[in-house]
């Protein structure tokens, strides 16, 4: 495996061969590694590039950009073990040599709801860096995790509307043995908080049970989930039942998904479950 820090060196190393791509912000866990293995399998053993870059554009001023864990040496060891061929780890000056005035702004109906509502500008930051990384890496396919459900949808729409020649594949959410969705931010949790964090997925499952049990008052299902978390000391942002295809209001017979985001202590967690 080769670790590369400059755009020019990466392009020279990759040449014209097809390649898979897994963009990350580092501080890797098994979920990231499963995406690398999935990309490798989809490429029939062909080369896979993983990027490690903490993207300032997707952090609000009050968020954890400065304290986000940077663990490059450990990440590279894990990626090599997962079969990654190239790690692209640019500095901020390499990727943004001047202020990024040109940005990719996704449509408000998808980007300003749920995560986008509580993190204004987040998806503009995501789309801008992903589009730029696609231009640099020029992958045949790219893998993103379903844990970031709305992000995966935004990226797929961007690729379709911008006619980018990249196949987007979604990897299933990787969970701990007890069912906690793996996240780089789980490292912020104390031991007691890590056990309590399971309440988020349990609350999503309770929402599913009410829908599958015949209840159709979506507002009541969502309100009960929010209150259950508040009663347990959480600060929820949203707990919603939505259509899988566009995150619109649920309708009978359409594949659905429940999505939630809530703060436990100082750590913000997200999760989702498809019905």
- Could you say which of 5, 29, 32, 131 is catalytic? 32
Question: 138 CB contacts (<8 Å, ≥6 apart)?
Answer: 14, 19
CA nearest neighbour of 175 among 211, 150, 203, 200: 200
Residue bearing tokens 């990727």 = 95
- Angle (CA) 34-154-258 rounded to 5° is 75
For 4-69, give the DSSP string. E--HHHHHHHHTTS--EEEEE-SS--HHHHHHHHHHHHHTTT--EEEEE---GGGS-TTSSTTTS-
Query: In sequence order, what E strands does the chain have?
Result: 2-4, 20-24, 48-52, 86-88, 141-145, 167-171, 235-243, 256-264, 267-274
DSSP 172: P
Token pair 């989809």 is found at 42
SS3 239: strand
Q: Is 32 a residue of the active site?
A: yes
Provide the Cα torsion 201, 236, 144, 95; round to 10°.
-150
Tell me which residues are annotated as active site: 32
């Amino acid at each position: 495996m080769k670790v590369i820090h400059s755009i020019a060196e990466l392009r020279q190393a990759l040449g014209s061969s097809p390649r898979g791509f897994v963009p990350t912000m580092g501080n890797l866990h098994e979920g990231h590694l499963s995406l690398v293995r999935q990309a490798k399998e989809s490429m029939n053993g062909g080369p896979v590039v993983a990027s490690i870059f903490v993207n300032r554009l997707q952090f609000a001023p009050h968020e954890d950009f400065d304290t986000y864990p940077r663990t490059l040496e450990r990440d590279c060891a894990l990626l090599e073990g997962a079969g990654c061929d190239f790690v692209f780890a640019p500095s901020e000056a390499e990727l943004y040599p001047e202020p990024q005035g040109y940005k990719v702004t996704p449509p408000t109906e998808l980007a300003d709801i749920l995560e986008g509502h509580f993190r204004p500008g987040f998806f503009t930051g995501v789309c801008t860096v992903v589009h730029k990384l696609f231009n640099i890496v020029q992958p045949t396919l790219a893998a993103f995790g379903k844990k970031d459900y709305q992000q995966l949808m935004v990226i797929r729409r961007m690729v379709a509307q911008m006619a980018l020649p990249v196949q987007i594949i979604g990897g299933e959410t990787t969970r701990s043995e007890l069912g906690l969705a793996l996240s780089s931010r789980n490292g912020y949790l104390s031991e007691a908080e890590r056990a309590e964090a399971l309440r988020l997925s349990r609350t999503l499952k309770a929402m599913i049970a009410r829908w599958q049990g015949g209840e159709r008052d979506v507002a009541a299902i969502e309100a009960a989930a929010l209150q259950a978390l508040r009663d347990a000391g959480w600060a929820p942002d949203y707990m919603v039942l939505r259509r899988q295809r566009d995150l619109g209001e649920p309708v009978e017979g359409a594949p659905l998904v429940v999505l939630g985001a809530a703060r436990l202590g100082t750590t913000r967690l997200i999760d989702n479950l498809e019905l």
